Amino acid sequence: MLIEDEESLQMYVEESLEHMANIENNLLAIEQGGDNADPEIVNEVFRAAHSIKGGAGLMGLHNIKELSHKVENVLGMVRDHRITPDSSIISIVLAAFDKLYEMVNNIKESESFDIAEEVVSLTGLATASLPASRKPDMASMVNILREEGGEPAFQLARFDIDEATKGGSYVYLVAWDLMMDVHDQEHSLMDMMRSVTSSGDILETKIEIESVGTLDEATPAKIPLLILYASRIGQDIIPSLFNVGSEQVRPVTEAMIVPVADEGAGRDESLMLEPEEPEPDLSPDGASTDELDDSGILSGDESLVRADAAEADEGLMAQSEDEQVAAELKGIQQIKAAMSQKTLRVDVKLLDTLMVLAGEMVLSRNQLLQSISRDETKVIASAAQRINMVTSELQDVIMRTRMQSIGNIFNKFPRLVRDMSQGLGKKVELTLEGTDVELDKTIIEAISEPLTHLIRNAVDHGIEPPGRRANLGKNPIGKIHLAALHEAGQVSIEITDDGKGIDPDVIVSSALQKGLITKRQVGGMSRTEKVDLILLPGFSTSERVTDISGRGVGMDVVKTNLEKLGGTMEINSEAGQYTTISIKLPLTLAIIPSQLVAVGNEKFAIPQVNLDELLRIPADQVKERIEKVGDAAVVRLRGRLLPLVDLAEILGIEKMFVHPENGGHYPERRTRVADRRSLRHAPPGESDDEPDTDETAESESESESESRKIAESRRTGEDRRFHATSAVNIAVVFQGNIRYGLVVDRLLDSEEIVVKPLGSHLKQCQEFTGATIMGDGRVALIIDVAGVAYSAELNTLEISEKVQKHAQEEAEQGGAETEEATSLLLFNNGPEEQFAVSLALVERIESIQTSVIEYVGGRKVMQYRGGALPLFSLGEIANVKPLPDTKELEVIVFQVGGREIGLMVNPPVDSIDVPIHIDEKALKQPGIMGSAIINHQTTLIVDIFEAVKTLYPDWLDGLTHKQVITGSKGTLLFAEDSDFFRRQVKGFLEDGGYRVIEAKDGKDAWDLLQQNAEMVDLIITDIEMPNMDGFQLTEKIKSSDAYRHFSVIALTSLAGEEDIVKGKQVGIADYQIKMDREKLIDSVERHLAKGRA
Amino acid sequence: MQSELITKEDRIELITFYIGNALCGIDITDIQEINKQTTNLTWVPKSPTYVAGVLNLRGMIVTVVDIGEKLGLSPIQPGKSSRNIIVHYNEELVGILVDSVSEVLSSDTENIESAPANLGGVQGDFFCGVLKTEHSLIGILDIQKALSDGLGDA
């Protein structure tokens, strides 16, 4: 290499990469434009090649120079409309840029790259388009002599000289002394070069090795650099441009250009003797060249070159499948290489902000140090507060410096899609949206691979070949849309293709074939669940499933990779229509919200993205809610069974328990975890009437009984572990297909933590993804939810199989007597008043400090996820006691009319599943729909819609249809056994403008339907009803010719998935939750519209 | 000028320390610092037995290895004299628990002999050499080897 100056080299690399950043898309745009390609874009690409060439020449990077030069030639022809940039030409240029990119990225090895193939293809292109007379110039090499009759200094193609001198440029030989002219004048080589190339072209450079001093000398006095320079600038100005003496510049005359003598086999020796026609001004049209002779000389060479080019073309076009894959792999590697640059461009404004903040930090530190030495508590407090503020701001700004636009990845895809679709003979149009969305650098790096995979799937398996598309009546050009947008502190990416979609039934049969699921499981699956089967490991690794599902090459890997980043993936597809894959990602990985838990003396962090909910099972409910299925403990959660994993046992930690009487912390006495579970050690007297619910506690002897564990409550009544502290704390976590309850000793705060990697010695600890440093300086480990599940040998399918079986058996036994339970969220307002709201309506619950509440425009709001969340308390709408003045509150967040609203309540809140009988009369008032007795306490049931209607009447404008006359929109037959629900639902259906015929049960509904068949437009039914349930009713309707056309919407109080599937089987059109009025009305409208259409 | 260069390369400075009764040394250039954080480490469940835990070294998570246990000697007893030597290992920092730190020795590399197959019950592979002084024999630990898993899965 000519120049080993690291700094210049680095600068060159950065600049070149920048030039190439958008080259692919520009080239693709040129390809699309063909002859009408935007000249601005062509120029941009041309300039990029040109600058890369210029720098490379100066740095002595011959390979890069050579290749970029050839590219430049071809682009020059495109620019001058001498060739039409069709896809074969663009393919060659793209390949050349690929090579250039690779070389620039490995700049030190660039000289050892093999560029022959690209050079030949490009030369072939340029030659092919030339008029026959000029063709030989491409390959005919000439020597530029140092002076007339002197030694040759450079060797280059005649064509290059002609190109350079086009438009009246002169060619000069400039002798530059790197020591005197550059180094001693404290110029950087790159600076010099930039100024020189701004007014001309460097054609070639060369260091005069011979004249560099010998090694004996300490430092060489002279490093002469010979430059062949083409410019329109006159000879008198050149010296000052190069900052050299006029004796160092010599114009190149035609006499100094002589054909190369010792090259080209079979060349006619005698021709060399022919004198070169003098050409004083090196006019560009080349008319003076001896056409006949020249073409005669090189015809052999030329045809050789052309043949090679043709071969190369063919190779490119006829890519086999393997090559296709290889090309994709290369694409991924390139994206990766581009992503993992060691340097980063940062907005100067951000750096300025950082400086200001650093300054503030120093000031606060000084203040803090001073005040500490003087012991001024007040000043310390204010300094601490300032440091607190500055730190948060610093964190924010530093994070922003790490942000990169997702376009960095997105922009690679048009090329990928183009190359792939060409190889597959498909026509695909890729549209991009939201390329300016910014994400943390590490996430950008990590998602490139999964995204590439998904795009590849969409092209390969999603989009049909043009012929089939045409047959299907679709546009032969398939569309793939890739969109990114910011959404509530997350980035969501959507990949949609209008291809053949995913057929759930095909997926199911394929999964059955592969033995991934059993027939019985299929019965209990919803449509989404079926589609999600393609995410199962092993679904499609064995073969390409193009012919079966159209999707799923390693989709499980994609999903897992995304989840590792704290992201989620959802698939939505309509067979024959479209497939949409939605990905949600956090903005950064460095700082994540997490839930802290404690087991024994150890604290652990569970990432919030893996956390579903926290569960505390009071001691007196442990017996009924925690059971054993096979070897695994499970908890009953809203009608479903969830496997439990004891974190202490998995990690081998000594458990702690809080002594119920003195409040002290003691280790559990049983040191060996295994003992706790071994049934063999159970004293015979301990086993009681429920052998299948055996849990750990049996294994203890009485002497070890100072512990709190799952099954303690089954002990005798006097047992002190009935104390509240023996409740079981569970964090319900999930990752991918795995979902389980993690049993911990204590649930602590939720906190934003900084994720740090663990050292290499801890690689084997699959239970942890990393560590974080707590406020007290100690290290806490971050739980890997999937890793823990793996350690616990939780096999999702196996467990769920057992669990489902268990649930089924139970249902068969218990069947009739179970009363329909409603999921309610219980909370307090004043100390004595207990309230409840339907859990189905709750979005989430937040614990807040009252200090975060702001009063704006007469309303209470809190800042939340970048927006303002309106807050209200029950006191504002109903005649209840005011909220006590406390520091901490719980905020129950509801979504009403598409907006969120928070209800402030007094902690604690608790969820229960109970059958309720609501008295709608006794305690009815605005915002309160009635009362019920729950846990022996009178409980007021809150009507959120009415509450919102009172506070923000405009929110519900679109929903309540006040002006609509009742009954005008249609008549609904509504079957519901609970008086309360019947009246509630009827109320808001009537509000919505419908006439409602009430039925007390399925049988009643059937009778009423027969009487009023002409009037009824739609049937809404509860599922659980005496005499005839909703399923039976639907079955009856659907099997009768007269009534089959009625749509049936089922209402549930938070139904299990099995119910939904069963319902679909009998013909229920839609499921809605009883108290969710918006969705129900929406559903009714949709189905009515469908029925009328 | 040249002679100076050679001297530098031919001298080695060692931090010497005890693992039980065994006197060992580490090349000083491998060491980041020595501190007293030998207790109050965060234990990592399921970690190899020789990992004593992790600690927070100015915002970095450092794995602390009980070098006694790692080399198959007696585990280090944390006490007043025990120290944590933070060394550079591959791209990370690793803490090495030792029973006590002795002194800094400077010696010609000429005086260092190759390690025998077995040194005080420890596999010779873990040492890059042995330094004989008037009173004792110091095994010079090869940090990279001593801290690697030995089974190739480090």
pLDDT value of position A804: 55
Report whether A225 contacts A205 (CB < 8 A): yes
Q: How far apart are CA B76 and CA A535, in angstroms?
A: 48
* Interchain contact, A779 vs B42, CB within 8 Å: yes
Three-class secondary structure of residue A449 per DSSP: helix
Question: What proportion of chain A, given as a percentage, has pLDDT over 70?
Answer: 71
Of B40, B44, B56, Cβ closest to residue A762: B44
- What would the pLDDT profile of A39-93 be if each residue is shown by its tens digit? 888 888 888 888 888 777 777 788 888 888 888 888 888 887 878 888 888 888 8
Query: Is a pLDDT exceeding 80 seen at residue A818?
Result: no
* Interchain contact, A756 vs B55, CB within 8 Å: no
Angstrom CA distances, B125 to A266, A952, A1090, B112, B147, stand at 65, 77, 79, 15, 12
Question: Which residue intervals of A724-795 are DSSP H helices?
Answer: 785-791
* Interchain contact, B45 vs A602, CB within 8 Å: yes
> CB of B98 within 8 Å of any CB in chain A?
no
Of chain A, the end-to-end C-alpha distance in Å amounts to: 75
pLDDT value of position B84: 92
pLDDT value of position A968: 64
Looking at beta carbons, which residues of chain A come within 8 Å of B149? Answer: 761
> CB of A757 within 8 Å of any CB in chain B?
yes
> CB of B118 within 8 Å of any CB in chain A?
no
- What would the pLDDT profile of A1030-1082 be if each residue is shown by its tens digit? 888 888 888 888 888 888 888 876 555 666 777 777 788 887 776 677 778 88
- What would the pLDDT profile of A711-743 be if each residue is shown by its tens digit? 333 333 333 333 344 688 899 988 766 788 899
User: Cα dihedral sign for A315, A316, A320, A325?
Assistant: positive
Q: How far apart are CA A393 and CA A934, in angstroms?
A: 47
Query: Is a pLDDT exceeding 70 seen at residue A341?
Result: no
Q: pTM of the full predicted structure?
A: 0.48
Tokens 């939810």 -> residue? A785
Confidence of residue A806 (pLDDT cuts 50, 70, 90): low
> CB of B67 within 8 Å of any CB in chain A?
no
> CB of A391 within 8 Å of any CB in chain B?
no
Looking at beta carbons, which residues of chain A come within 8 Å of B35? Answer: none
* Interchain contact, B45 vs A763, CB within 8 Å: no
Q: Which of A298-312, A507-521, A805-819 has the lowest mean pLDDT?
A: A298-312
Residue B125 burial (C-beta neighbours within 10 Å; 0-12, 13-18, 19+):
middle
Which residue in chain B has the smallest CA separation from A754?
Answer: B59
Looking at beta carbons, which residues of chain B come within 8 Å of A762? Answer: 44, 47, 51, 54, 63
Kindly report the nearest CA distance between residue B67 and chain A, in angstroms: 13
What is the 8-class DSSP label of residue A1064?
Answer: H
**Residue A734 β-bridge partners:** A739
Three-class secondary structure of residue A681 per DSSP: helix
Summary mean pLDDT of chain B: 82
Looking at beta carbons, which residues of chain B come within 8 Å of A648? Answer: none
Query: Is a pLDDT exceeding 70 seen at residue A599?
Result: yes
Higher per-residue pLDDT: A1088 or B67: B67
Confidence of residue A685 (pLDDT cuts 50, 70, 90): very low
Confidence of residue A314 (pLDDT cuts 50, 70, 90): very low
Question: Shortest CA distance to A836 belongs to which of A931, A950, A978?
Answer: A931
Q: How far apart are CA A787 and CA A769, in angstroms?
A: 9
Q: Which of A154-168, A178-192, A525-539, A922-936 has the lowest mean pLDDT?
A: A178-192
Give CA A107 to chain center in angstroms: 32
- What would the pLDDT profile of B74-88 be if each residue is shown by its tens digit? 888 888 888 999 999
Higher per-residue pLDDT: A649 or A321: A649
Question: Which of A754, A761, A782 best tests the B interface by mutation, with the highest count of B CBs <10 A?
Answer: A761
Residue B120's region, left for phi above 0, alpha for psi from -120 to 50, else beta, is left
> CB of A672 within 8 Å of any CB in chain B?
no
Kindly report the nearest CA distance between residue A775 and chain B, in angstroms: 11
- What would the pLDDT profile of B6-33 be if each residue is shown by its tens digit? 445 678 888 999 988 888 899 898 898 9
Kindly report the nearest CA distance between residue A733 and chain B, in angstroms: 20
Average pLDDT over residues A954-974: 61
pLDDT value of position A931: 80
Average pLDDT over residues A154-182: 71
* Interchain contact, B42 vs A773, CB within 8 Å: no
The number of CA neighbours under 13 Å toward the Cβ of A210 is 2
Average pLDDT over residues A158-186: 70
Query: Is a pLDDT exceeding 50 seen at residue A320?
Result: no
pLDDT value of position A544: 44
Looking at beta carbons, which residues of chain B come within 8 Å of A777? Answer: 56
CB atoms < 10 A from the CB of A497, how many? Answer: 26
Query: Is a pLDDT exceeding 50 seen at residue A708?
Result: no
Whether omega before A757 lies within 30 degrees of 0, making that bond cis, reads: no
Residue A1074's region, left for phi above 0, alpha for psi from -120 to 50, else beta, is alpha
> CB of A791 within 8 Å of any CB in chain B?
yes
Which residue in chain B has the smallest CA separation from A762?
Answer: B47
**Dihedrals phi, psi of A762, to nearest 5 degrees:** -105, 15
ipTM, 2 dp: 0.86
* Interchain contact, A761 vs B42, CB within 8 Å: no
Tokens of A982: 């019947």
Question: What proportion of chain A, given as a percentage, has pLDDT over 90?
Answer: 2
Of A763, A767, A777, Cβ closest to residue B45: A767
- What would the pLDDT profile of B95-107 be if each residue is shown by its tens digit? 999 999 988 988 8
Which residue in chain B has the smallest CA separation from A774?
Answer: B56
Residue A682 burial (C-beta neighbours within 10 Å; 0-12, 13-18, 19+):
middle
Of A652, A778, A791, Cβ closest to residue B42: A778
Q: How far apart are CA A971 and CA A1020, in angstroms?
A: 11
**Dihedrals phi, psi of A587, to nearest 5 degrees:** -70, -30
Q: How many interchain CB pairs under 8 A, A with B?
A: 77
pLDDT value of position B54: 92
Tokens of A1048: 């049936």
* Interchain contact, A757 vs B42, CB within 8 Å: no
Confidence of residue A278 (pLDDT cuts 50, 70, 90): very low
Tokens of B89: 């290992």
Average pLDDT over residues A819-825: 67
Of B40, B45, B54, Cβ closest to residue A771: B54
Confidence of residue A606 (pLDDT cuts 50, 70, 90): very high
pLDDT value of position B64: 93
Question: Which of A779, A781, A783 best tests the B interface by mutation, with the highest count of B CBs <10 A?
Answer: A779
> CB of B24 within 8 Å of any CB in chain A?
no
pLDDT value of position A674: 34
Average pLDDT over residues A894-905: 79
Q: How far apart are CA A254 and CA A232, in angstroms?
A: 17
**Residue A251 β-bridge partners:** A172
pLDDT value of position A219: 56
Confidence of residue A315 (pLDDT cuts 50, 70, 90): very low
Question: Shortest CA distance to A759 belongs to which of B45, B67, B65?
Answer: B65
